[in-house]
Amino acid sequence: MIKVVNLSKTYRPESNPVYALRGISAHILPGEYIAVMGPSGSGKSTLMNLLGCLDTPTGGSYYLDGQEVSQLEADQLALVRNQKIGFVFQNFNLLPRMTAQRNVELPMIYAGLPTQKRQERAAEALEKVGMANRSDHHPNELSGGQNQRVAIARALVNAPAILLADEPTGNLDSKTSSEIMTLFDDLHREGVTIILVTHERDIALHSERILHFRDGRLEKEENLLSTPSRRDDEQ
Amino acid sequence: MNLLESIRVAIESIRSNLLRSILTTIGIVIGIAAVIAIVAIGQGGEATLMGEMEKIGSNLFMVHIDWKREEPQTGTEFLLEDVQAIKSQVPEIKYLAPYAYNYDSIRGTKKNKQAQIIGTMPDHAQMGNLEMLQGRFFTNEDIQGRRRIVALDEALAEELFGNTDVIGKQVVVQGNSLLVCGVIKEEESFLNMEDSKSIYVPIRVWMDIYPDGFIQSLQGSTLEHEQVETAMNKSVTIMERRHQAKNVYAGTTMAQQMEIASKVTSVLTLIVSAIAGISLLVGGIGVMNIMLVSVTERTREIGLRMALGARRRDILIQFLIEAMVLCIIGGIIGTILGVGGAWFIAKLAKWPPLISWSTILMAFAFSAGIGILFGLLPASKASKLDPIEALRHD
């Protein structure tokens, strides 16, 4: 599903090079639940930008859903983002003037779906995250957790190949965080591929595999499936 | 992203910054209102002028001394015999009359008044469609008999005698007493801005009163509008032959004069609306300014839209449409104000404004064009944002 081979990213390669990623190779299978951890400056944000097709690497290749996407043009990248990637942000990034329903419709607008189909699918997605009864609310009328649910519905609505979540619980209290993580767990059980960036270990423990980054390198992989009783240990 | 969706987003964004949007559009509103009002008044004035001239007659022509000639008139350029000669040789001519005038003092029973003392023939009344309020105009027999009678304007009669019931009364010009034979009805016309004050004297009597005076021109009309040019040219040729003079006579038709008048008014309208158009330009710059602010404020929104799959051109179009919607709203308000203003001014000036669909459409297209022109810079700035940077913007 996702394969990165020797992926690297260097900023300002001519004058004062910053090696943000120094050759990453990884393989992520469909339906996998991955957590990315690492201190700031470790390259995890750069990796997320590359995996999210918001940026192009300076070296290596990136296969997403069988397609090599590392050298695509801006417009083609926009199409890939629209069709194959669902973003969940720390600060939700909902448009304040739009209702939850309209926010969820947004990716489908750029996909060129007709109005009726958009509305149906947005309603379904809101239903899935338990926000069906709040569809006509604006973001400022919803709590943080509710906003993140709407944002997750928006990320899922085009049935993406991967869900990229960048510190999705960073702005939430612990109770709401655990509710959101339960939602991610549910989505994982339904077969959604999830890549989660976090600096909190107990959030990362929801995943099946943790990728630890340091200084632009994949430092180590921690396979959590080999220790089935992991959650009991932590809690 | 389709057009309807873009318009919807644009309206949502304009609504969320309502006061700012209204202030921004004021420049466009004033510009469009000014252009619409000026064009409407200009075109209305031109149409009224043309209508009046048409009423006077597009089949009128005049033979006069060539304006390029520098020698003073001797008095023998136009003779009474020329009138008959031309009339008999040019079948297209329906009416032809000599025209001699002097601005002079005239005395009635009530007071003295300055007026145009016009010496002419009955044909003049015919081609000018003069309508009589009282009595009659003088006839050819009156001219032959050198009868000392006059026809005068309603307004002049009022001033000289205090009423218009003046048939048989006396007026005195240069010590000659003349009997009033008719009062001419005032015509409601916008060309008669001031009251026309004229008295009409049989040409032979006029020549008796002013022995040093002379006929200034011949005025004629044809049956058909199409014949006027031919009739005028033939008349000039006959005059040149009869007087053996080249480059002395010239002809002008009413149609030519209408054309000149129309040209003058349209050029004036154009100049004034161009000046008004400058305020549109200023308005456009205001729109550009506020759109740039809007792009900066909405950097994160732009980044998010890009992350969700918006291409650069989707962002470009979205902001272009927003600038256009802003300008078109201004254009609509401006059109309403402009039409209202045109009516108001026209009411004062006493001529109907002419508001054509083409003017309104033009204003509409123009404001949309300004939206595109001045929206282009902010929209292209928005579309060139880097999604990662934009998403990180606070």
Instruction: Give a yes or no: residue A143 inside a domain.
Output: yes
Interface predicted TM-score (ipTM) of this complex, two decimals: 0.92
Number of domains in chain A: 1
Per-residue pLDDT of chain A (235 residues; tens, 9 = 90+): 789 999 999 988 788 888 899 999 999 999 999 999 999 889 888 999 999 999 999 999 999 988 999 889 999 999 999 999 999 999 999 999 899 999 999 999 999 899 999 999 999 999 999 999 999 999 999 999 999 999 999 999 999 989 999 999 999 999 999 999 999 999 999 999 999 999 899 999 999 999 999 999 999 999 988 655 444 444 3
* pLDDT averaged per 10 residues, chain B (length 394): 81 86 90 88 82 78 87 84 92 92 87 89 87 90 91 88 88 92 78 66 93 91 88 92 89 85 85 83 89 92 94 92 91 92 83 81 86 93 93 85
Q: Measuring CA to CA, which residue among A76, A84, A87 is closest to residue A158?
A: A84
Cβ–Cβ contact A112 with B under 8 A: yes
Strand partners, A33: A194
Instruction: Give a yes or no: residue A156 inside a domain.
Output: yes
Instruction: Give a yes or no: residue A17 inside a domain.
Output: no
User: B309 vs A111: CB contact, 8 Å cut-off?
Assistant: yes
Instruction: Give a yes or no: residue A44 inside a domain.
Output: yes
Give the tokens for residue A210: 């943790």
Phi, psi (rounded to 5 degrees) for A18: -115, 120
Which residues of chain A are within 8 Å of residue B308 when distances are taken between CB atoms?
Answer: 81-82, 87, 106-107, 110, 154
Sheet with A59-64, strands from edge to edge, namely: A18-28, A2-11, A59-64, A67-68
Instruction: Give a yes or no: residue A104 inside a domain.
Output: yes
Q: Measuring CA to CA, which residue among A53, A103, A116 is closest to residue B309?
A: A53
Instruction: Give a yes or no: residue A88 inside a domain.
Output: yes
| Residue B376 CB coordination number (10 Å) | 16
Q: Measuring CA to CA, which residue among B233, B222, B176, B231 is closest to residue B199?
A: B176
Instruction: Give a yes or no: residue A19 inside a domain.
Output: no
Name the residue facing B388 among A55, A74, A79 (closest C-beta): A55
Q: Measuring CA to CA, which residue among B155, B161, B165 is closest to residue B196?
A: B155
Instruction: Give a yes or no: residue A68 inside a domain.
Output: no
CATH number of the domain that residue A118 is part of: 3.40.50.300
Domain holding A116, by residue range, is 31-57+80-234
Which one of A49, A73, A81, A90 makes the best mutation probe of the B interface by having the most chain B beta carbons within 10 Å?
A: A81
Give the tokens for residue B194: 């001031």
Give the tokens for residue B80: 């009474």
Cβ–Cβ contact A184 with B under 8 A: no
Detail the DSSP E strand segments found in chain B: 60-65, 93-107, 112-120, 132-135, 149-153, 170-173, 176-184, 198-202, 217-222, 249-253
- Give CA–CA dist B43/B35, Å, rounded: 12
Q: Measuring CA to CA, which residue among B196, B95, B83, B200 is closest to residue B138?
A: B200
Cβ–Cβ contact A78 with B under 8 A: yes
* Per-residue pLDDT at B189: 58
Strands B149-153 and B170-173: unpaired
- Give CA–CA dist B120/B143, Å, rounded: 9
* Per-residue pLDDT at A231: 47
Name the residue facing B309 among A93, A98, A107 (closest C-beta): A107
Distance from CA of B4 to the nearest CA of A (A): 11
* Per-residue pLDDT at B193: 45
* Per-residue pLDDT at A190: 92
Which residues of chain A are within 8 Å of residue B302 when distances are taken between CB atoms?
Answer: none
* Chain B residues 343-382 with CB within 8 Å of chain A: none
Q: Is residue B190 helix, strand or coil? A: coil
- Give CA–CA dist A184/A196, Å, rounded: 10
